[in-house]
A and B are shown apart, each in its own frame.
Chain A
Amino acid sequence: GAGVSQSPRYKVAKRGQDVALRCDPISGHVSLFWYQQALGQGPEFLTYFQNEAQLDKSGLPSDRFFAERPEGSVSTLKIQRTQQEDSAVYLCASSFQGSSYEQYFGPGTRLTVT
């Protein structure tokens, strides 16, 4: 496809369940970002990949959060033992270069933990 895609678009999980969120970036884009967006707030940085290398994971809120991009393309954000405070929209963005310039965002995955 032409843009960044994410799946699922919506996910409802019971507290304690594990979830996996997928991001398909634009083909050829080197950089991939994951953000968490709470209602009424801007995106909060979670982690950054350059190709398959995870260069920064300083924004991951706890060790229950794990992200990977094994072949430098598709990325998965996994949340283990979900908690209610994990409820948010998770946005994925990619950019052509290894910089913050002009990031292209996916539609997001809205996670609701009940």
Chain B
Amino acid sequence: SQELEQSPQSLIVQEGKNLTINCTSSKTLYGLYWYKQKYGEGLIFLMMLQKGGEEKSHEKITAKLDEKKQQSSLHITASQPSHAGIYLCGADVRASNYQLIWGAGTKLIIKP
């Protein structure tokens, strides 16, 4: 959806390096959901952010929703091969009380 832009589209990172993926909305974000997808598999829920300025961490992955609530970033520290996959953001922009709009995903490759 052009309403939700993810950048970069793909990323190749040396193992051990840090990286950041961004998700930018043209509308106010009432909820932002980060998922990870491996090839041939479904989406795995990572984190949900709802409040401007909110930041959540899980292991080496940190996600933040900016104060103006139109952008979220996902930061991975000291990347590992297990982090490889496609990261997708889904957003609640109040199009309905159940529909999310989705970014196209960021493909992350970790070089050993």
Contacts and interface: CB of A to CB of B under 8 A. Distances in A.
Interface size class on chain B is 20 to 34
Interface residues of A, number: 27
A102 B96 contact: no
A42 B33 contact: no
A104 interface: yes
Interface string A86-114: 00000101000011111111111010000
27 contacts: A42-B1, A42-B4, A42-B88, A42-B102, A44-B102, A45-B99, A48-B98, A55-B98, A93-B42, A93-B43, A98-B98, A99-B97, A100-B31, A100-B97, A100-B98, A101-B48, A102-B48, A103-B33, A103-B45, A103-B90, A103-B100, A104-B45, A105-B42, A105-B45, A107-B42, A108-B40, A108-B41
Interface of B: 1, 4, 31, 33, 35, 40-45, 48, 88, 90, 92, 96-100, 102-105
